[in-house]
Chain A
């Protein structure tokens, strides 16, 4: 075990010595994205390990350690980490945890402290917990977020988004089952290899990758018989993590639906934009807001390369511009609404509808505070403005059963199918209109 050093507030810090031979455990959220993030950690000399454990023991572990009224993601991530520590797989004296922290006014900013509390209760408070954040919370000499790393993480997110985005569009329609997975596996492997060298994180290289990815997916043979499209929005962990949402994506696939999951990049942009907007509202962090504004523009141009590739080499639905998504929320909530997923959650529902995805599942942990407002609180108005929208709010929790959740989702799907039938019938009558709509979709 490395020497334990504490900061002024008594927090155990992750030292340079620890960096040498400690394993950094991180909880899973999105397999593709997080796999790429793991590569970046490795590249910078961190022995990071992504926990892909699943199963009921994780929930049990979390239940024992976390207050049952705290949100479900805290329970799951703590459970997953503690489960790993107790598995005997790791030298507990050479292990650290790494956990993302957004630092907003939502209780999620407490996850890291809850993990520390748990460790203390188990007399394992020699395990350092690293806050992974972009706003400079909690410094650690052994873990530094450099600009280079940040840029590489960004690439990881963008690659992850593109692969998730396209595979979601081909998988339900593939003629030969398994084609999508093959392309996906091929590219995950390819990116993994590329990420072994820092030299490969360049716009030019990325552009080539984007094009290659899009082309490969475009070559998959598809049967475009209309299917129900279902968008999934919500609290970030529950929305993305299969452990949190009872394998929602698989369930929707098994129900023969096309799943539309908004990209992770939007959340990153949202968090960055909040700093810009904070200056407008409160006149704070002037320099940071300028930096973020600059960074945002740089990311927009990288994202434009992705959408350009999609438009040029395929007929897939491209991601929408962040600025466009942000504009949609006007009249619902202010962009000053920034706790949890904040205004982005409302915007994502509107974005989905804007792209013709009327069926939406709004996911959240039971009792999620921001979602009372930006999720459940906005559905009424959205439905009023878009009568065809078909939104169901589903709560996830250690005690909530899959059957109840699936039953409610099935109700939403029944309505969705009926609406789809109606639409297809209409489309048959006026093929012209259909052409217009395709045109419109392409124009976006």
Chain B
């Protein structure tokens, strides 16, 4: 009897299934291949010898890593989604939709009502590997994560687009003490949301839905989240053998293939396993043993002195670095010798760790040592500071600078690669001159390698040791984590060794840091006295890669992983105090900490708060963007905030009932700025103008399923929700014009809008079926020329309404008047703010972005964060009008962008003004503007700061940037960090 064999080689596992002629499963088995794809496949096949050796069999290979093996072996390949479909049609003919989550792929198949198969794009990680990564982050096993998820109370918003994004949402939640149960369930919810937006893209997942693949087989919590989110009660099908469906499909697919004897199959697979493949490789990290020895010796020199805590008598200073994944503490003597230090993973719970070690320190100190000062830095700064009454908090960048100076007083460049962050800064005139932090999208950092090592079955020291031995490191490219995953997959497919992959990863991390984060053009760009730090640099392979790539010898302190804490300890010496406020041993013995989640009702931001309660009812609230939930009356009300002002102005535009009924307008993208214009226009014509509500996450979700491109910017994605919102208000006419051209403000060579702003109305029309049932008016308009505007709008409206040219003319006049009035009001507010700031000795931040960045759902309350730090907030358009057009090194042809350049030029000689550029993730044009704005500012000795925003809700990274900027400005004013 002929047997049919299906071999499914996925990104992490190999599965083999043997079927008989009636498609009964005779054998099924799977194993993790730890990237030894071909040998593991061969092994699994050798195990089924007894089944196959008597008769001929047919074979098909499938799976994302199976292509190479199939080619080498000359065995038929079937694409895995196709294989899944075959299996489902065979065994579950009543299925309507199939959702299959694999190691690194996510797939959806619509079987009824128009067959359609889809896979996740290249930038989407809501998959098995993503869940693995998140579990690592929380320091639990995947099984534990699943158990936790079953006991959740509430779900947090976690960006679902890709793993890296989700991480930056989860990290702060962990650090703020949110419940692990809630986070676990939220992670699953993110996977579900990703499936709905990224894969279904507007098609409803309904009817009999089959769930397949490893994660959906083993994870109960994930199943529940899918069932609840999709409202599936009876229709959810979790079949037996669900993780084998792809292999089964391949076996069925093979039926008409050539028949092989067992020996022939083994021979083919053996040949494939032995085949040499060509992979792009790089030179080895070390030429020979001698070179490695020299390298080791060189780095052993840089050391810090220790002092014995059991004999030392005198003052001591404590530094704590409550990092994102690790907690570090250092206690030093008054001459900076280390008395006590430790470094540990915090598993998302820094408080008990710090508590433990504080107690230990007190015991060791006895009465000989007096702690005179304490400082904390890092993501968990506020929590730890409040929990233990730490004397002061310090922004991370400063802590690192202070520490680095102790190792190399001439330091002019510091790079710190930690678990989740890359930070680099240049030092000029003894002050931090420019700060670069990694964007959420390019964080190929320490924890990434660690997760990888674990996935391949190694611990870090062993994995690093392998890299040092690699003869031909694989060239893995240098993009973000998700991309690197697939590069590794490709290398695995090509049969690269673990040594070469490990070395390749180390090189990738460095290339990522150098070329993506720092954007160094050549070795001279990064200074000559370089101090490298952060736990990741303790990895010799990484350190070596850095030296090779830059061609420079660098200083790596032996306490590379403790530098933040060390810097804090040093900083604790000033100002001199008699005694630290730190909780005493007595108080620590009564220490209690509980946390609970809440939602702030203070404003539309609806911040998700975590309320930490300590003994004696001491409380600390985190997750807030402003001071409101803290109950204090000092809410910085008087500090100018033009973002708030503009939002209020636009929201308060009123309209009355009109003869033509209601006309709806979405409150997003360029309509933000053009609202006064069109509002006045239609009001004058006799329409009642209905504006959609201010964006919220919930509103976004109502339109989420109709977004066709998941890499478009968040402001554009929100438009889908705004349309739904308008319809829910009973509007049956919506006006949203296509505007390739903007107003011509004479600041650039042309006056375009970006392609997305220009044409998004057309995209909505073709993707939102609901627009088919109403009157959707989306003409091409030219707002920059009154004559053309009148002509085009008349052509468009007169077809639908009984409107005369005269009425149009009158309305147009009203529109331009209203628009210019709005512009005038902005300028006036700007000038008043500048005056107010001068009178009250305030610094001003020009928060430069696009008009739609005033949307609180888009800026996530960054404006309020800034005012809460006692800085006034202006916008680019409140000052750009005062600058004449000047030549640019890039094409300056977009109206909104020209304002950015003008704003940057405006502040160049204003001592109390600095600029922070807001950039929406996915804005391709800002790839051009950011470099240009940076250049303009740096030429004038100003510090450039950029904040990238997306769906991500947390402001942790933004806060560090803003605080670093403030610290750097202060330093520059006070003549830099003193030596010694």
Shortest A133–chain B CB gap in Å is 12
Shortest A228–chain B CB gap in Å is 13
Q: How many Å lie between the Cα of A17 and that of B475 in the bound state?
A: 44
Chain A positions 53 through 76: 1 when the CB is less than 8 Å from some CB of chain B, otherwise 0: 000100000011101111100000
Q: Determine if B516 is an interface residue (Cβ-Cβ < 8 Å).
A: yes
Q: Determine if A247 is an interface residue (Cβ-Cβ < 8 Å).
A: no
Q: Determine if A402 is an interface residue (Cβ-Cβ < 8 Å).
A: yes
Interface stretch, picked from A102-110, A260-268, A430-438, is: A102-110
Q: Determine if B486 is an interface residue (Cβ-Cβ < 8 Å).
A: yes
> Once the chains bind, are B928 and A411 in contact (CB under 8 Å)?
no
Most buried by A among B79, B80, B115, B515: B79
> Once the chains bind, are A403 and B121 in contact (CB under 8 Å)?
no
Shortest B751–chain A CB gap in Å is 10
> Once the chains bind, are A107 and B924 in contact (CB under 8 Å)?
yes
> Once the chains bind, are B479 and A399 in contact (CB under 8 Å)?
yes
> Once the chains bind, are A379 and B708 in contact (CB under 8 Å)?
yes
Q: How many Å lie between the Cα of A64 and that of B759 in the bound state?
A: 33
Shortest B897–chain A CB gap in Å is 10
- Whose C-beta in chain A lies nearest to the C-beta of B203? A380
Q: How many Å lie between the Cα of A401 and that of B756 in the bound state?
A: 27
Q: How many Å lie between the Cα of A362 and that of B780 in the bound state?
A: 26
> In chain A, residues 4-63, which have Cβ atoms closer than 8 Å to a Cβ of chain B?
9-10, 56, 63
Q: Determine if B487 is an interface residue (Cβ-Cβ < 8 Å).
A: yes
Which of B117, B740, B887 makes the CB contact (< 8 A) with A336?
A: B740
Q: Determine if B119 is an interface residue (Cβ-Cβ < 8 Å).
A: yes
Most buried by A among B738, B758, B788: B758
Q: How many Å lie between the Cα of A340 and that of B754 in the bound state?
A: 11
CB-CB < 8 A to A399: which residues of B? Answer: 477-480, 483-484, 487
CB-CB < 8 A to A10: which residues of B? Answer: 887
- Whose C-beta in chain A lies nearest to the C-beta of B927? A69
> Once the chains bind, are A113 and B890 in contact (CB under 8 Å)?
yes
> Once the chains bind, are B117 and A411 in contact (CB under 8 Å)?
yes
Which of B480, B489, B493, B709 makes the CB contact (< 8 A) with A372?
A: B709
Interface stretch, picked from B419-427, B650-658, B761-769, is: B761-769
Most buried by A among B78, B483, B750, B927: B927
Q: How many Å lie between the Cα of A371 and that of B759 in the bound state?
A: 10
Which of A122, A373, A401 makes the CB contact (< 8 A) with B489?
A: A401
Shortest A350–chain B CB gap in Å is 12
Q: Determine if B529 is an interface residue (Cβ-Cβ < 8 Å).
A: no
Q: Determine if B47 is an interface residue (Cβ-Cβ < 8 Å).
A: no
> Once the chains bind, are A383 and B116 in contact (CB under 8 Å)?
yes
Q: Determine if B889 is an interface residue (Cβ-Cβ < 8 Å).
A: yes
Q: How many Å lie between the Cα of A21 and that of B615 in the bound state?
A: 83
CB-CB < 8 A to B647: which residues of A? Answer: none
Q: How many Å lie between the Cα of A280 and that of B453 in the bound state?
A: 61
CB-CB < 8 A to A290: which residues of B? Answer: none
Given the known interface contacts A65-B521, A67-B519, A403-B64, the answer about A282 and B782 at a Cβ–Cβ threshold of 8 Å is yes
CB-CB < 8 A to A234: which residues of B? Answer: none
Chain B positions 883 through 905: 1 when the CB is less than 8 Å from some CB of chain A, otherwise 0: 00001011101100000000000
- Whose C-beta in chain B lies nearest to the C-beta of A381? B766
> Once the chains bind, are A366 and B711 in contact (CB under 8 Å)?
yes
Shortest A64–chain B CB gap in Å is 6
Which of B64, B123, B758, B760 makes the CB contact (< 8 A) with A105?
A: B758
Q: Determine if B295 is an interface residue (Cβ-Cβ < 8 Å).
A: no
Given the known interface contacts A107-B927, A369-B756, A372-B716, the answer about A415 and B516 at a Cβ–Cβ threshold of 8 Å is no
- Whose C-beta in chain B lies nearest to the C-beta of A336? B780
> Once the chains bind, are A373 and B82 in contact (CB under 8 Å)?
no
Q: How many Å lie between the Cα of A407 and that of B83 in the bound state?
A: 13
Shortest B203–chain A CB gap in Å is 9
> Once the chains bind, are A381 and B759 in contact (CB under 8 Å)?
no
Shortest A403–chain B CB gap in Å is 4
> Once the chains bind, are B755 and A106 in contact (CB under 8 Å)?
yes
Shortest B492–chain A CB gap in Å is 10
Q: Determine if B925 is an interface residue (Cβ-Cβ < 8 Å).
A: yes
Contact-residue bracket for chain B: 35 or more
Which of B67, B280, B926 makes the CB contact (< 8 A) with A56?
A: B280
Q: Determine if A378 is an interface residue (Cβ-Cβ < 8 Å).
A: yes
Shortest B33–chain A CB gap in Å is 15
> Once the chains bind, are A407 and B64 in contact (CB under 8 Å)?
yes
CB-CB < 8 A to B67: which residues of A? Answer: 403, 406-407, 410
CB-CB < 8 A to B760: which residues of A? Answer: 373
Given the known interface contacts A68-B515, A109-B893, A117-B890, the answer about A372 and B82 at a Cβ–Cβ threshold of 8 Å is no
> Once the chains bind, are A367 and B890 in contact (CB under 8 Å)?
no
CB-CB < 8 A to B483: which residues of A? Answer: 397, 399-401
Q: How many Å lie between the Cα of A174 and that of B122 in the bound state?
A: 36
Shortest B637–chain A CB gap in Å is 38
CB-CB < 8 A to A402: which residues of B? Answer: 490
> In chain B, residues 332-353, which have Cβ atoms closer than 8 Å to a Cβ of chain A?
none
> In chain A, residues 100-141, which have Cβ atoms closer than 8 Å to a Cβ of chain B?
105-107, 109-110, 113-114, 116-117, 120-122
CB-CB < 8 A to A379: which residues of B? Answer: 708
- Whose C-beta in chain B lies nearest to the C-beta of A118? B521
> In chain A, residues 339-377, which have Cβ atoms closer than 8 Å to a Cβ of chain B?
339-340, 366-374, 376-377
Q: Determine if B712 is an interface residue (Cβ-Cβ < 8 Å).
A: yes
> Once the chains bind, are A110 and B758 in contact (CB under 8 Å)?
no
> Once the chains bind, are A63 and B924 in contact (CB under 8 Å)?
no
CB-CB < 8 A to A380: which residues of B? Answer: 201-202, 708, 766-767
Chain B positions 756 through 796: 1 when the CB is less than 8 Å from some CB of chain A, otherwise 0: 10111011001100000000000010100101100110000
Q: Determine if A83 is an interface residue (Cβ-Cβ < 8 Å).
A: no
Q: Determine if A320 is an interface residue (Cβ-Cβ < 8 Å).
A: no
Q: How many Å lie between the Cα of A376 and that of B711 in the bound state?
A: 10
Q: Determine if B725 is an interface residue (Cβ-Cβ < 8 Å).
A: no
CB-CB < 8 A to A368: which residues of B? Answer: 924
> Once the chains bind, are B738 and A414 in contact (CB under 8 Å)?
no
Most buried by A among B121, B753, B785, B788: B121
Q: How many Å lie between the Cα of A326 and that of B64 in the bound state?
A: 39
Q: How many Å lie between the Cα of A376 and that of B780 in the bound state?
A: 21
CB-CB < 8 A to A105: which residues of B? Answer: 740, 750, 752-755, 758, 893-894
> Once the chains bind, are A63 and B515 in contact (CB under 8 Å)?
yes
CB-CB < 8 A to A393: which residues of B? Answer: 121
Q: Determine if B915 is an interface residue (Cβ-Cβ < 8 Å).
A: no
Which of A333, A337, A398, A410 makes the CB contact (< 8 A) with B477?
A: A398
Q: How many Å lie between the Cα of A403 and that of B486 in the bound state?
A: 8
- Whose C-beta in chain B lies nearest to the C-beta of A121? B521
> Once the chains bind, are B928 and A367 in contact (CB under 8 Å)?
no
Q: How many Å lie between the Cα of A369 and that of B757 in the bound state?
A: 10
Which of B117, B740, B759, B894 makes the CB contact (< 8 A) with A374?
A: B759
Q: How many Å lie between the Cα of A399 and that of B519 in the bound state?
A: 16
Which of A282, A371, A403, A414 makes the CB contact (< 8 A) with B79?
A: A414
- Whose C-beta in chain A lies nearest to the C-beta of B926? A69
Q: How many Å lie between the Cα of A338 and that of B741 in the bound state?
A: 11
Q: Determine if A283 is an interface residue (Cβ-Cβ < 8 Å).
A: yes
Chain B positions 215 through 244: 1 when the CB is less than 8 Å from some CB of chain A, otherwise 0: 000000000000000000000000000000
Q: Determine if B440 is an interface residue (Cβ-Cβ < 8 Å).
A: no
> Once the chains bind, are A336 and B82 in contact (CB under 8 Å)?
no
Q: How many Å lie between the Cα of A397 and that of B484 in the bound state?
A: 12
Chain B positions 942 through 963: 1 when the CB is less than 8 Å from some CB of chain A, otherwise 0: 0000000000000000000000
> In chain B, residues 74-94, which have Cβ atoms closer than 8 Å to a Cβ of chain A?
77-82
Q: How many Å lie between the Cα of A89 and that of B116 in the bound state?
A: 51
Q: Determine if A404 is an interface residue (Cβ-Cβ < 8 Å).
A: yes
Shortest A343–chain B CB gap in Å is 9
> In chain B, residues 837-859, which have Cβ atoms closer than 8 Å to a Cβ of chain A?
none
Closest CB pairs A-B (n = 6): A399-B479, A69-B927, A399-B483, A105-B752, A414-B82, A377-B763
A sample of 13 more A-B contacts (CB under 8 A), given A71-B924, A339-B740, A410-B67, is A63-B478, A63-B511, A65-B521, A283-B788, A333-B762, A371-B709, A377-B709, A397-B122, A399-B483, A401-B483, A407-B64, A407-B79, A411-B81
Can you sample 13 A-B contacts with CB below 8 Å?
A107-B927, A109-B891, A281-B780, A332-B762, A333-B759, A333-B766, A334-B738, A366-B122, A369-B755, A397-B479, A400-B483, A401-B486, A410-B67
